[in-house]
Structure 1
């Protein structure tokens, strides 16, 4: 028999941090309070009623009437994979716009479902124009176009006006990544004619990792229903999940009950504030951050017209050790920001102002701490 640890472990005791990186962000206290309840059964009538509320709230926050809208029991990467798993069949041509790390992840996932994956590229921090997308659709004639609305690795926001219309012209589905935009950036899924979208809980929604929004338009559902092969991922098969989230209430898996409590509360808070007010708050605080960085002589990586209000990439000045700065912010100020990923590793910091963390006092706290640490760098 394996022996227990030599010394008994004490009760859990972790530091409280201000999380101003690319995610997770701090959850709203009301969300934590909702999480801190005893679970009930995942087929309990009270829980089933809660599921209905979650779907109604999520449709509002995403601005869609898609019946197939619910959270995936998993992180944002699971929701990302769900979009591809359900509509990519072997041989389907999938065009991915790569302008950062998460475009590359879409490529990797689509290839694992045996899609015929094609790519177009922009430098990390740039976005695609409608003309570039039209040219790529004309060249590749894909069944699916996948774009990242909010590229978490670069802080760039991809314009989507007109893209859905373009996809209908070329008879292809449009997938978008809203992981770092949902709840903090204007999104109009139906108006933009988006067919599939996914997000996460722990950023603009002020919730927690492990429960992640997912939606399919009627066009996407039609492709799912017309598949010649089964969805390769049983856990993420939307045709099975819909039987649980829909009126049939057929058991599929044990849902993360307490995370659903938290998710419902997070969405309710956005509704209470008002979606447009939430977007305006994020934009206002981001502009204050950008102005403060400019006062310090620090440049942002993305052009203002394409800059995300939820996540700012800050260029590392010459001669400064980026990782040393993030470590000092954590150790000396209890404040977390992110380092660069991929091509931007060592070149930028990633500063998040998302959800409950997007407030003027956090902007001021970061700028004060950042100036102090840079003065020592």
Structure 2
């Protein structure tokens, strides 16, 4: 860095972000973020907070009153939910089918939970019976799931798990960071007790705000711990140390007091991010949530057809793939990172690599949020075909775009 460059205005290069996220933010969201700031107790500001709660109830498909934002990236929402619910020694069950299941385990262990896992090979998901069998064996207090794991591009079915959890007295949480807005999610109908998400995937915003929704049962758990912290002992809670929430910033009881009618000071709301989150939800609901899911499905299907038209193989169980991220197996003799660098440097297009056992074995190509559009799909396929041909991979010339166009001709959103 030159001595003068640190004083230059920020002027990042253009990129078409077609990886697993983040993606290019919708210009309407960026405009909302540039709005002037307000005081955190200004009635206009608190009205915006109330509007955010209402808008995200519609996105999460819930009647939960406590539907709000945690200030921070999507991981802050995950931590707030787990830190506020898990007591030391609690048994939790985590079905792991990718990197982000391991993340839930790591956070739960920091909460001093007794963590139990079941695992399937990356590229597969769990049946409801597999999860119920593990619940019967472990008898956990919480089931911690990931709906869409971008490391494997797989989507875990959740619809049957709420009834299973209710039968066995288990709280049911899912991380919907990568899936909300682009894949079906029905919080109340599926019996979810807590869901957290992020803006930087299908919601077409920047990273930095984590929408969450909490069922009345989950709120009761949090409030019960809050009573113990405040010195109010009940017969059910004798050991105050075990009940204490070991976080101030991520204490959902305190955050709810801030978002509730009391407006008790907890933090200064991240105003620009709240504006962004509000606009993300408004844009999707204006389009229609079902239309947004259908749009992601259409463009994901066009990308899949185009990739197969190139003669490339896709990764994982395609009957359970996410609408918005596709795993592409790197063909023998092709250097995956060389392809990614040529796409970035010569076409300004970014696609993703992967992690763990899939590192260097697949590319991850996203079609989500503002980039779930025909022009983005066709540009990416054309550029990928050109790069692969340049590197000596014999693709079926022109078939990628024709295959994608065929999908667009057959479907609409």
Give TM class, smaller chain: over 0.9
1:40 to 29, 38, 41: 38
Partner of 2:103: 105
1:119-173 Cα deviation digits (max 9, x unpaired): 1001111100011011101110000011110011010000112101001111011
> What is the deviation of 1:231?
1.2
Q: Secondary structure at the match of 1:226?
A: helix
2:30 and 2:262 map into 1 onto residues whose CA distance is 31
1:299 and 1:19 map into 2 onto residues whose CA distance is 22
1:11 and 1:286 map into 2 onto residues whose CA distance is 36
Partner of 1:253: 267
Partner of 2:229: none
Bigger CA drift: 300-309 or 140-149? 300-309
2:57 to 56, 59, 65: 59
Q: Say whether 1:219 aligns with 2:217.
A: yes
2:208 and 2:4 map into 1 onto residues whose CA distance is 31
1:18 and 1:42 map into 2 onto residues whose CA distance is 35
Bigger CA drift: 124-133 or 5-14? 5-14
1:148 and 1:46 map into 2 onto residues whose CA distance is 36
1:302-323 Cα deviation digits (max 9, x unpaired): 2221011111111111121111
Q: Secondary structure at the match of 2:144?
A: strand
Structure 2: runs of 5+ lacking an equivalent: 226-236, 238-242, 392-413
Q: Say whether 1:81 aligns with 2:95.
A: no
1:140 and 1:179 map into 2 onto residues whose CA distance is 27
> What is the deviation of 1:300?
1.2
2:302 and 2:342 map into 1 onto residues whose CA distance is 23
What TM-score comes out, normalization by structure 1 length? Answer: 0.97
Partner of 1:317: 331
Q: How many residues align?
A: 373
Q: Secondary structure at the match of 2:286?
A: helix
Q: Say whether 1:7 aligns with 2:32.
A: no
Partner of 1:150: 148
1:228-276 Cα deviation digits (max 9, x unpaired): 5221111011100001111111111011101111111111101110011
1:294 and 1:6 map into 2 onto residues whose CA distance is 49
Return the index of the structure with the highest Cα Rg.
2
2:310 and 2:325 map into 1 onto residues whose CA distance is 18
Structure 1: runs of 5+ lacking an equivalent: none
Matched ranges for 1:262-341 at <5 A = 262-341=276-355
> What is the deviation of 1:225?
2.4
Residues 334 and 6 of structure 1: CA distance in aligned 2, closer, same or farther (over 3 Å)? closer
1:127 to 125, 128, 140: 125
2:387 to 369, 373, 376: 373
1:248 and 1:22 map into 2 onto residues whose CA distance is 39
1:152 and 1:43 map into 2 onto residues whose CA distance is 38
- Check whether the contact 2:68–2:259 (CA below 8 A) recurs between aligned residues: yes
1:338 and 1:324 map into 2 onto residues whose CA distance is 12
Q: Secondary structure at the match of 1:191?
A: coil
Q: Secondary structure at the match of 1:234?
A: coil
Q: Secondary structure at the match of 1:54?
A: helix
2:178 to 177, 180, 183: 180
Q: Secondary structure at the match of 2:389?
A: helix
* Superposition RMSD in Å: 1.1
